[in-house]
Each structure stands twice: as structure tokens, then as C-alpha cells.
Structure 1
């Protein structure tokens, strides 16, 4: 059953006070949900993600993937251990404050599992809340490396930036002595990419220079010009949001594709046409795309999305995997958050991307990554798989204990 959270500001305030002052809904405590029998009451899971705002399309994909994954992981029953899994969705609009308010509201109602976080900045604010209240948090498309190892209650269902950069590294070969410019937004996502490229390629001898564009910039031409004038051997583009078309147009107009080797992440389907004639000049690292694999989980994702009138896209995998993780945690841990955490640590499973493992030390999700090309078709552009990188080839270093 899917519900939308529409709490009033007063209700949110009451929920906040309930969590802070009364410890309401503390995980691991006995009793039942909403006065029901704990053996039969639903497992309540909160999905806090973007249904509006600049990353709404990502949130929509995540939610659709989660529904398909829940159906797959529960074998079509929507139940775990005989108890219904009740999903409540709340919109964070990409705003960390709204996300914290929504998650606090759900925790105040007794929810012990929160999933979602379309944006990196949101995930970084929700993760401490999970630790403070001892609830399970499964972050979604948010790519920042800072989520890995942030605390014992936080996991992720998508890839992290370090894995993106290692995949890019497989495209360019030996970076020693080469210049790399990172063209990105001045956001948690963009900064994480710049830091990761510096850490990965800089450590191998590359000279890395970031060009970070203010989030509110309306004229991107000066920043594109700056990136091109640097004459890098590699121009690494890391961009997320509604103005991606404008960004690519600015780079094209300034001659970036003629001046450098351009590597970027393959974004959602709707962005494929924006590359135009430059599409075959770009080399793509990819987290996931239609046709990347053909395993049982991928087929279930495809079929589950079709029932919703949707298609496989970049972040449908993250929702599907989140549902697999949540179901496994509930199967093994029930209402005990500590047991849920233990069940996920070290767990190996097969998702739409292939076999993945949750590293016990820091909860990094070790997973395959891909490289791809966009090719022209009669109806537009389609991604073609170039290579599949196994999980160990793109594994981030173990995050230091906090």
C-alpha cells in the first residue's frame, strides 16, 4: 500500500518534540505498532525522496524501482514473515531541511526503516538522524562518498562517486603526467566528484583542477570557457539537475569536444538527445542503463516497471536494490534494528546490475560498473555496453572508522 505524507507544520513540530523529548519510536523496543499485535502489524517503511524539485525525475525512477523490487523480493506478496510491508512516501524536494523534517515525522510515528535520499546533501543530513534515533537508513541515488562509513545505521543502494571515478580511470588509461579538469556544480555532489578525481587520478600522477559552477548560475558560458582554456587532456564532467542541457550546450559552443577527451557519467534516458552530434565523441562511465545486463533481477525490474507504465532507467536499479535490502533486513531482523544492521553487513545478493556485496566494515556497496557509448538509432540515441567492470576493480578504499 502506498501512501503520501502530508503532515502539517504543527504535526511536524509535535513529531520532532516527541522524538527529542520522549524518545518515541525508539528501535529495538518491545510492543507493537499503533496498538496492534507486533507479530501481525505491518512493517512500516518510509521513503523520503524527491517527488518535486530539480531531481524529481530521479526520485520518480527510484520509487518505481522500489515497487518493482518489493514485488520481486517478496515473491509478489508484499509481505515479510507474514506481515505486510507498508510504504509511506514523503517528498523532500531536494531540500535537506524538508528531508529531516519528513524523516523525523516518520520516526516519531514509530517507523524503524527510512529509505530514499535522491540528493547527496539530503543523505548527509538524514544519516545522523538515523544514528541518533537508531533506525535503519538505506540511502538511494545520493552518490557522495561521505555516506560510506558515516555510521552503523546507514547503508546505500546505489553507487558512490569513487566508483564513478575508478570507472572513468579505466577509460583514460595511465593518468600520470596528464592534466584533468573536473567540470561540476558547486554542490555536495560536485565537490565529492572533484575530491574523488583528485584522490584517485591525482594519486596516480595526474594534475587535477576543478571548475565548480555556482548552483544558482544562469550563464554557464564563462565557466565552460574556463574549462576549455585550461586545455586538459581529460575533461571530466559531473553534473546533475534540470540545467544539464544548458551545460552541454555551453561546452559544445566553446569547443570542449574538440579540445579534450570528454568523459562523463551516462545520465537518464531523457538526456540522451542533448549530446547531439557530439554524442559519439563522449566516452561514458555508467552506473546503470537499459540493457546493461540480462539477469533474473534485471528482467524482474523491467517487468515490474512495465506494470507501472515505466521503463528501465538510471536510478530504477537503486530503488529495486533498496527494496531487496529492506526486505532482507526485515526478514532477518524483524523489529530489531541492530539485527537488521547485522543482517545487511557482508550480505551478497544479485540485483539488476549483477552480484553485489555490502562491505561489513563500512557498508560500501561493492557492485559492477559499466562503460558505454551512445549510438544513433532511428528513434534517437541508445546506450551500447562497452565493458563491465567487476566489483573488485572499482571498489573504494575502506572508509576510516568514525
Structure 2
């Protein structure tokens, strides 16, 4: 914390004149709806990140940080409207959001129209910092390619045959496309792709199609890789259908703690994750784990770390720019490195995607813990993941 406090002191007086009385930041996110748990974690993390980076003052250069909340209700049209309201009526310097890739994609043009920065956290669709990006968009969250490359490192190999199950929208389809691409050089092959609506609760038909496609697929190892966000995670339901009778093992990436409860049924399952609170060993994560446990009586979750990374990025960008001018902030953020609960992140200048390490895990079951524990196999470093710049 001494480094943080020293940096806060240096920042006093740096902001461009005339100084504004407040630094207004809008958190535009799906507070209500199927991803409410993600939203709550993201918001708590954002506030903790601002607190940590300012040494508890919630001020930069003597100017108070004010966080404005806007609920997108997970609806693209609402997301566009409330983001425009935040930039316009509320005069937000910049905004952070959304939890849904579909809503985030709808909000990208609004940032460009208003000439204000939007930090995307935690939506992951590649197209956010790919085909649909504009110069006002930065993303602290990982993208689908980072998820896919990390899971390809963890799961790929000669003789591996894979089926995928994902939700039928940007998150799921981008995720499978990136995973397919990442597996190309590993020797593994995807033999079947299954997409279902986001609100699916009965996976019987989808599972039967997967089993039929996989039972004669050959290979030395068969995996069903599941990409899922929000409620109704199919992992437990499909596991109950005994995919093992066809030699199929379930695989997936990391998830929030409540979802990891289903992983207890799958000891030894491997994948790659963005965050689990016991894995990163650095000052920011130690502070987060300790502070979150003290305030909320529980460890920080998957999206808490992402929200904190965004909060720290905002403070570091304003300090680096010495200004709250949007063009100065863009110049400061392109190529900016900063420390987060995951360690170092870097905003890649070409597409403003945050490069970051990921974690290969294996599930360990402890009867005293309510969820399957993603035990670290190894850190997958930034330099190991050749994340494509997508036009």
C-alpha cells in the first residue's frame, strides 16, 4: 500500500486545468437479470479497485471519484440508452460495462458517438475488441481468444477428439470459433458443435446429439467442452446422463464459486481459468482476498478480480495522462501496463485488449469446501498466448 499512497501523492496537481470538482465514472451493467451474480461481483470489484489504487481516499489529484450506476437489464436497447444518458445527462468521464457480450456490442457505437471511453468488463466476445471495436473501447476482461488459447494449451494434444456445447449468442459462438482456431496446432480435433438457447433447461436432446457424434469419433481421448454463462449450467445435468459410457469426459473453463459447486462431481477435470482467488500471488490479490473476506465474509470471486482490474486501470490512466481529457487518456492507455489481482496487464495498442496471464487447473475435491477447487497446474504466461488482433 505504500507504493499506492506514494503514487496518489505524486498525482496531486497533475490534472489539467481547469480542474473539475468530480471525476464521474459510470458503471453501466446488467444489475438485474440472469447474470446478476456476475454484475454484483463486477461492481464490488470496481469499487475495491478504485479504493485500492487511491489508497482509500477515492480521490485523484484532490478530485473526488463519483461512481454512477446504470442498469442495462441485459437488454441491448436499454444498454445503448443508459450509456448515452451516462455520457450526456450525467457527464461521465468514462464508463465501465457490461456483463453481457450482446449488450456490450450494442454499446460500442455510443462511446464513439459521444467521444468518451468505454472500458469493457467483463464481456468476452472477440468482436468487442475485434471487428466491432472503435478507438474509444478498451477491455480489461479477457476475450474469447484468451479463454480459448488457454484451454487449448490445457486440453489439446494428438488423439484428442472434442465436442463443444455453448449458448447460441455472441459469447458462445465467438468462444467456440476461437477454441477451434486455437486447437489447430495442437493435434486435437473438434468433431461436433452444439448450440442451445441461453434459457435452455432440458439438455437431453443436445446431449444425445453430442453422444451420437462422439461415440465413433475415434482418438485416444474424448472431451465435451462446455462454454456457459449464467444460470442453468448444463454440466451437472449432462454428467448425470453418464457420458463416460461413451468414453467422454467433461471439460470446461473456470467459473464463479457457486458454479464451481458442480465441479465437485468431476474430480481431476482440467481446463484453464481467468481467476481463482488462491492462485495469483501478488500484493493486489493479497489485499483483495483479505479485504473481501473481512467485508463480505467470503473470498473474492471470478468477476470481482476483473472489476478491480478495471478500477485500478482508471486511476492509473488518469495519473499517467495527468488529465481527464479523453484524447490524453487514450494516449496514456495505449500500451499501458498496470498491476492487478492477476498480476501485470497490458493494454495492447493495436486493439486495446488487455493481455494477461491465465491458469491451467485441475479440479481437487475437499469435503470441507463447497465447490470444486481449481488447483493450479501451471501459469500460462502472456508470452505463451499469441492472441490474434482481429479486424
State the shift of 1:284 in Å. 2.5
Instruction: Name whichever of 88-97 and 214-223 sits farther off.
Output: 214-223
TM-score by length of 2: 0.87
Change (3 A) 1:38 1:96: farther
- Cα deviations by residue, 1:28-78 (Å, 9 ceiling, x for unpaired): xxxxxxxxx951410100001122111110011111111111011111110
Tell me, yes or no, if structure 1 residue 199 matches structure 2 residue 190: no
Partner of 1:115: 96
Tell me, yes or no, if structure 1 residue 260 matches structure 2 residue 243: no
Alignment of 1:219-368 (within 5 A): 219-231=202-214, 233-244=222-233, 247-257=234-244, 259-277=247-265, 279-309=266-296, 310-333=298-321, 334-368=323-357
Separation (CA, whole Å) in 2 of partners of 1:216 and 1:142: 18
Separation (CA, whole Å) in 2 of partners of 1:186 and 1:196: 15
Separation (CA, whole Å) in 2 of partners of 1:303 and 1:71: 14
Change (3 A) 1:379 1:399: closer
Separation (CA, whole Å) in 1 of partners of 2:40 and 2:213: 37
State the shift of 1:332 in Å. 3.4
Is the Cα–Cα contact under 8 Å of residues 28 and 79 in structure 2 kept in the other structure? yes
Where structure 2 has 5 or more consecutive residues not aligned to the other structure, the ranges are 1-16
Tell me, yes or no, if structure 1 residue 375 matches structure 2 residue 364: yes
- Cα deviations by residue, 1:286-334 (Å, 9 ceiling, x for unpaired): 0001211121110122233235315211111110010111112222342
Where structure 1 has 5 or more consecutive residues not aligned to the other structure, the ranges are 1-36
State the shift of 1:205 in Å. 5.5
Partner of 1:29: none
Change (3 A) 1:359 1:257: farther
Is the Cα–Cα contact under 8 Å of residues 101 and 171 in structure 2 kept in the other structure? yes
Tell me, yes or no, if structure 1 residue 55 matches structure 2 residue 35: yes
State the shift of 1:206 in Å. 4.4
- Cα deviations by residue, 1:127-172 (Å, 9 ceiling, x for unpaired): 1111121101000011111112411110111111111111111123
Partner of 1:182: 164
Partner of 1:80: 60
Separation (CA, whole Å) in 1 of partners of 2:336 and 2:84: 28
Paired residues in the alignment total 360
Separation (CA, whole Å) in 1 of partners of 2:140 and 2:382: 14
Separation (CA, whole Å) in 1 of partners of 2:342 and 2:244: 30
State the shift of 1:354 in Å. 1.1
- In angstroms, what is the RMSD of aligned CA positions? 1.9
Is the Cα–Cα contact under 8 Å of residues 99 and 122 in structure 1 kept in the other structure? yes
Is the Cα–Cα contact under 8 Å of residues 237 and 264 in structure 1 kept in the other structure? yes
TM-score by length of 1: 0.85
